Structure 1
Amino acid sequence: MPTAARWAAATLAVGLLLGTAGCAAEEQPAAAGPTPRPTQTARPTPPPPVLAPLRGTVAAEGADERPALAAKIDNHEGARPQLGLERTDIVFEELVEGGLTRYVAIWHSDLPDEIGPVRSVRPMDPDIVTPFGGIIAYSGGQEVFVDMMMNTPVVNAVFDFDDTGLFYRDDVHESPHDVIVHAAELVRRNALLPPPAAQFEYAVDDGEPTSVAEGAANSVVQLRFSDARWPSWGWDAAGASWLRSQEGEPDLDAAGAQLRASNVVTLLVEIDDYSFEDIPRTLMIGAGEAWVSSGGSTVHGVWRKDSPAGSIRLVSDLGTPITLAPGNTWVELVPSSGGVEIIP
């Protein structure tokens, strides 16, 4: 091959090699860098659950915003079984004339459509109801007692004055133990009233109620209001609640189930027998002995209430505020002439 031709061929070969090497360099992937981490988005902390003020349990949606409804509930044999007592937040049992008892029952967390039978008010009822605000339903009463109740900041719904259909007489009980209230409708008509304030302190975050932490285990709380009324509460470990009896017989609701409570608060109270002739008046403004039963145990202490609008304060013998178990409560206003027996 002539020299010029060989030189041209060599030049072409070198060019081809350089072109191939250049292409290879262009096709080689770049060195991999560190893999970027995904951005961590902070999760919002959920708000704490809203607790029902009169039970210390988690409130149903919207239930904490409505007002409390109190009612004067009959406890005559002819009024049993009562309607709605099993769904109360708090019930007060009080002595009335003839050695009988009546209830001031308060609904807030769980509101039935109907409650009753309702009866007339007594002179201690304003001091019991005022701290809850909201509404009080009753059938009437002596003019002086009705005036006392009307002078509280609580909305009064009275059978004797009602012409709007909130009350009716049922065909289950005989008169006068037959007046029933449309409870849910009564609350709906007064929905703008504020909800109640908490009345007791509750053990929260899995804490023990004071009766368990400081008290002693017991099986029965036996009470005596009079020779005609001696209720008792027996601890049901399986149901984790106290079961109510009256005069030795189970106290049943309208469905045939025994009434039960998470807490039984027993207050020894003085009775004014003279200011209103034969109508006993439980003195709610004052202080005295107290027994608080929760979780199958009872702790002894003192109670105090300083004003009509003030709540009942409970302090143990060790000087600590008494906390209750979350749930419903019965408050037994036992006369000092009666009796309280805590049975192991």
Structure 2
Amino acid sequence: MAVGAGRSSRRRVSMLVALVAAATLTACQGEVLGPLPVATVVARPAGEAPPAAVAFAPLTGRSADAAALAHPSLAVKVDNHENARPQIALNRTDIVFEELVEGGLTRYVAVWHSDIPDEVGPVRSIRPMDPDIATPFGGIIAYSGGQEQFVEMMMATPLVNLVFDYDDTGLFHRADERPGPHDVILASAEAVTRNASVAPPSVQFAYGSADPLAAPAYVAVPTSSVELVFSDERFPSWQWDAAASAWQRSQEGAPDLEASGERVRATNVVTLRVAIDDSYGEVPRTVMVSSGEAWVSVAGRTAHGTWAKDAPGSPIRLTADDGSPLRLAPGNTWVELVPDDGSVAFTP
């Protein structure tokens, strides 16, 4: 048994030697290969940062550095009086809501998170629907003041309230080149820095591809322009610019420009038909905890559906006519809160 085992061992060794020898030769005239490569580990130089974690911005759906998103959103009540134009940094917003206010005018609740400018404005006073609009974002709300009852409503939310009328910290200033009261400017980057420990916002809408309405189930129709009427005083519109892959905004028939000189633009235009509560006298209150008809305009298409909001702190849900979620393209969004007695039209 011992002799047989020795022969077997010698046979295995011989076979192994033959295999190794064969592995060192090429099939071309016996050319000998070099030694097999040895895996090496390259040490990262001391102090070099590891690769940044990739995340998605909750209010745009775009990929971003996770560390750059670790701060609260900033919602600001922005003036839209003719004397307040051009507004500052609207094209750097994540989401803007346009709402009806007294006199048939409109104002904005503009929300910045993924890109915080140094300054924004002009900042104006709060209205009764603004707590329901801003609360789902958490974070910070900035405004110039307002009727005591409306300020108390906003103060009752969990948001950090920054109010020009009460500010003694230098976050707000009046711009000499702008007429009052359309001249209040917020140091927005500083406002976020001072409240950096406040939690970031949660996702508000569902996002898809750059052309999310292309699926036949949405029955989306080609759209070159979106025409909206809030009142005789305010009738904004959006024109699709295929070269820029964006909707370009107009107000009262003229191109709408921001302070940078750029045309105000959006990746997504979401139009909601809303009821108006007149219980505050001359101050209309858009009813936000409700539901109604909705349209989503993306990439030169428009799909019809419904919207619903269950509670002041709940986000708006957009549902297509087939029951599936209405998805937006990654990018910034304008939400147009058009009164039921206004009008909505889409041009092919």
Place the TM-score, normalised by the shorter chain, in its bin: 0.7 to 0.9
Over residues 137-176 of structure 1, what are the superposed CA-to-partner deviations in whole Å (9 max), with x where a residue is unaligned? 0000000000000000000000000001000000121110
Identify the residue that residue 7 of structure 1 maps to in structure 2. Answer: none
Distance 2:298 2:40 in 1: 44
Residue number in structure 1 paired with 2:318: 314
Q: Which runs of 4+ in 1 moved over 2 A?
A: 31-42, 46-49, 60-63, 210-214
Q: How many residues align?
A: 309
CA deviation after TM superposition for structure 1 residue 58, in Å: 1.3
Residues 1:280 and 2:259 aligned together? no
- State the distance in 1 between where 2:227 and 2:215 align: 19
Instruction: Find the residue that maps to 1:114 and give its secondary structure.
Output: coil
Q: Deviations over 1:21-67 (max 9, x none)?
A: xxxxxxxxxx945247546799xxx9973111100111245221110
Identical aligned residues as a percent = 62
Distance in 2, matches of 1:326 and 1:48, equals 19
Bigger Cα displacement from structure 2, 323-332 vs 47-56: 47-56
Query: 1: CA distance between counterparts of 2:318 and 2:38?
Result: 53
Provide the rounded CA distance (Å) in 1 between the counterparts of 2:199 and 2:68.
12
Q: What is residue 46 of structure 2 aligned with on the other side?
A: none
1:151-206 CA distance string (max 9 Å, x none): 000000000000010000001211100000000000000000010001001114x6
Match of 1:9 in 2: none
Question: What is the distance in 1 between the residues matched to 2:246 and 2:144?
Answer: 32
Could you tell me whether the CA contact under 8 Å between 1:121 and 1:138 is conserved in 2? yes
* Cα distance change, pair 54–41 in 1 and its aligned pair in 2 (3 A): farther
| Pair 1:302-2:291 in alignment | no
Contact between 1:137 and 1:157, CA under 8 Å: does it hold in 2? yes
Aligned residue for 1:146, secondary structure, equals: helix
1:234 has 2:223 as partner: no
Give the aligned partner of residue 203 of structure 1: 208
Match of 1:174 among 149, 170, 179: 179
Q: Match for 2:291: what amino acid? A: A
Amino acid at match of 2:213: T
CA shift in 2, pair 1:155/1:48, >3 Å:
closer
Q: Is the 8 A contact 2:56 2:66 kept in 1?
A: no
Equivalent residue, structure 1, for 2:255: 250
Q: Which amino acid aligns with 2:292?
A: G
Aligned equivalent of 2:327: 323
One-letter identity of the residue aligned with 1:330: W
Quote the RMSD (CA, aligned, Å).
Answer: 2.0
Q: Which has the larger radius of gyration?
A: 1
- Over residues 107-156 of structure 1, what are the superposed CA-to-partner deviations in whole Å (9 max), with x where a residue is unaligned? 00111000000000000000000000000000000000000000000000
The answer as to 2:346 corresponding to 1:342 is yes
Q: Is 1:77 matched up with 2:66?
A: no
Task: After TM superposition, list the pairs within 5 Å mapping 1:12-161 onto structure 2.
Answer: 32=21, 34-35=23-24, 38=37, 49-60=54-65, 62-161=67-166
Q: Tell me the secondary structure at the aligned position of residue 55 of structure 2.
A: coil
User: 1:242 is matched by which residue type in structure 2?
Assistant: W
Q: 1:228/1:326 Cα in 2 relative to 1: closer, same or farther (>3 Å)? A: same
Distance in 1 between residues matched to 2:344 and 2:333, nearest whole Å: 17
- Residues 130, 154 of structure 2: 8 Å contact kept: yes
Query: Do the aligned residues in 2 keep the contact of 1:94 with 1:103 (CA within 8 Å)?
Result: yes
Residues 211 and 298, structure 1, Cα contact 8 Å, conserved in 2: no
Code of the aligned partner of 1:326: P
Q: 2-side partners of 1:158 and 1:212: how far apart?
A: 45
How far 1:86 sits from its partner (Å)? 1.4
Contact 1:211 1:293 in 2 (8 A): no
Question: 3-state DSSP class of the match of 2:248?
Answer: strand
Distance (Å, rounded) in 2 between the aligned partners of 1:331 and 1:272: 19
Q: Normalised by the size of structure 1, how large is the TM-score?
A: 0.86
In 2, distance between residues paired with 1:211 and 1:333?
25
Partners of 1:278 and 1:164 in 2: CA distance: 33
In the alignment, structure 1 segments of 5+ residues that lack a partner are 1-30
